[in-house]
Amino acid sequence: MDKAITFCKEKKFAKVHLSTFAGLDAARHLYEKWGFRLIGETEDCTWGVVVKEQIFELVF
CATH number, position 10: 3.40.630.30
pLDDT in tens, 1-18: 999 999 999 999 999 999
Query: Which residues form the domain of 51?
Result: 2-59
pLDDT in tens, 23-57: 999 999 999 999 999 999 999 888 789 999 999 99
Of the candidates 27, 6, 9, 10, the residue with the CA atom closest to the CA atom of residue 18: 27
What is the number of domains present in the chain?
1
* φ/ψ bin of 42: left (φ > 0), alpha (ψ from -120 to 50), beta (otherwise): beta
